[in-house]
Amino acid sequence: MYFFYPKICDNDMQIRAVDAWYSGSSHDAFIWGMSHAKQYFRTQYESGQRSLRLLGDCGYGIEPFLLTPYRDPQFNSKEYKFNIAHTAARNIVERTIGVLKSRFCSLMCTLHYRPEKVVKIVNVCCALHNISRRYNIEHDQEVSCK
């Protein structure tokens, strides 16, 4: 059983990195730790590029290029307000997943294929999603996925 998540997307709902290789029982932090994206951001940071930032949830470790929410901030403190803004900004990931799954209904269920084939299916769906977003190609949301 394989699940996928767009691990990185931008504010235009363009998927920048995805990983469908690991099973659904793998924790996001594990997948992130093994990802090429993490290595890319680390390399960029170490070479002096300090303006690249990612938003992640509190399950991820501390990285200088990864902004995670504060744990248990005091109500109305700067940290509390940061967490509210952080949550609002991260909402784009959930919306992107929703749009992707509504566009490609087969992604709403478990893909019962060899892992290599699942990776290809997910990558092609993400590429087609990005093309559709870039060129403002609408999809028929009236069509129900069954």
Provide, rounded to the nearest whole percent, the portion of the chain with pLDDT above 90: 50
Which DSSP string corresponds to 82-126? HHHHHHHHHHHHHHHHHHHHHHSGGGGS---S-HHHHHHHHHHHH
Across the range 92-114, mean pLDDT stands at 89
pLDDT of residue 106: 87
Looking at per-residue pLDDT, the higher value among 25 and 22 belongs to 22
Q: Name the band, by pLDDT with cuts 50, 70 and 90, for residue 145.
A: low
- Checking if the pLDDT of 127 tops 90, the result is yes
Across the range 86-105, mean pLDDT stands at 91
pLDDT of residue 3: 47
Compute CA distances 56 → 6, 117, 128, whole Å: 12, 28, 25
Q: If you count DSSP H runs as helices and E runs as strands, how many of each does the chain have, helices first?
A: 4, 4
- Checking if the pLDDT of 2 tops 50, the result is no
Across the range 44-65, mean pLDDT stands at 91
| Helix, strand, or coil (residue 134) | helix
pLDDT of residue 136: 93
pLDDT of residue 130: 96
What is the pTM for the complete model shown?
0.80
Q: How many CB atoms lie within 10 A of CB 57?
A: 13
pLDDT, the chain, mean: 86
- Checking if the pLDDT of 144 tops 60, the result is no
